[in-house]
Amino acid sequence: MPFTNLSKSPDVEWLRDASVNLLYLDLSRWSDIKVVDDERVADLLRANPETRGGTPVSLSAGLAIAKRVGAGKLVMGDLLKVGSRTTVTAKVFDVRGGQRIRTTHQESTVQDSLISRFGVLAQDILNVGSASGVNAGAIGTKSTAAYREYLAGVQALNRFDLKGAKPHFLEALKLDSTFALAHYKLAVLVGWDNAADNSKLEHAQLAARFGSSLPARERTLVNALLAFNSQQWGRACEGYGSLVRADSNDVEALYGMGECLWHDNIVEPIGGDTTRLRFRGSWNSAIHMFERTLAVDPTFHLAFQHILDSYLAEGRGGCRPKDPSVLSADNGSTNCADTYATAIRRDGDSLLLVPVSNRDAAALARDVADARRTNARVRNLRQGREAANTWIAAAADEPRAHVALGRIEALLGEIESADTILGKVPISDLSDADVGRVVMARAELSLKRGRDAQFVRIIDSLAASHPKAQAATIVSVTMAALGRMSSLDSLIGTALRSRGAPPSMIPYYLAGPRIMLGVAGDGAADAERVMFNLVSATGGPAARRNATSQIAPTLIFGLRLARASWPPIDSLPDPRALPALALARHDTAMLRSVARSLDSAARVAADSGAVDDGASFVATEAYLALADTSAALAMSRIMLDKSMRQVSLFTQVGNGFVFPLFLYPRTLLLRADLEAAKGDKAVARQFYQRFLTLWAQTDPEFQPIVDRARKALAALGPG
Other CB atoms within 10 A of residue 650 CB: 16
Q: Which of 389, 406, 343, 417 is CA-nearest to residue 610?
A: 343
Give the number of domains in the chain.
Answer: 4
For the chain, the residue count is: 719
367 & 424 share domain? no
Rounded-to-integer distance, Cα 703 and Cα 688, Å: 15
The alpha helices in 449-568, defined as continuous H runs, are: 452-465, 473-481, 486-498, 506-517, 524-535, 540-550, 552-557
Other CB atoms within 10 A of residue 682 CB: 9
In a domain? residue 169: no
Q: Is the pLDDT at 325 greater than 90, yes or no?
A: no
Q: What is the mean pLDDT of residues 481-495?
A: 90
pLDDT (tens digit, 9 = 90+) per residue, 550-606?
Answer: 999 999 999 999 999 999 998 888 889 999 999 999 999 999 999 999 999 899 888
422 & 378 share domain? no
In a domain? residue 683: yes
Average pLDDT, rounded, for the chain: 88
In a domain? residue 211: no
401 & 419 share domain? yes
In a domain? residue 174: no
pLDDT at 131: 37
Q: Which of 595, 617, 575, 648 is CA-nearest to residue 377?
A: 648
Give the lowest-confidence range in 302-316, 450-464, 606-620. 606-620
349 & 460 share domain? no
In a domain? residue 184: no
Listed residues 447, 481, 515: the one ending a domain: 481
Listed residues 86, 113, 139: the one ending a domain: 139
**Three-class SS state of 339:** strand
In a domain? residue 224: no
pLDDT (tens digit, 9 = 90+) per residue, 422-433?
Answer: 999 988 888 777
659 & 549 share domain? yes
Confidence of residue 499 (pLDDT cuts 50, 70, 90): confident
Give the lowest-confidence range in 185-189, 246-250, 520-524, 711-715. 520-524
Portion of the chain with pLDDT greater than 90, in percent: 51
470 & 566 share domain? no
469 & 580 share domain? no
653 & 525 share domain? yes
In a domain? residue 118: yes
Q: Is the pLDDT at 395 greater than 70, yes or no?
A: yes
407 & 361 share domain? no
Strand partners, 278: 268
414 & 377 share domain? no
373 & 407 share domain? no
What's the CATH number where 600 sits? 1.25.40
Listed residues 421, 447, 481: the one ending a domain: 481
Q: Which domain holds residue 542?
A: 482-715
Q: What is the mean pLDDT of residues 251-280?
A: 92
536 & 470 share domain? no
pLDDT at 694: 96
Please report, in angstroms and rounded to a whole number, the separation of the first and last CA atoms in the chain: 75
In a domain? residue 173: no
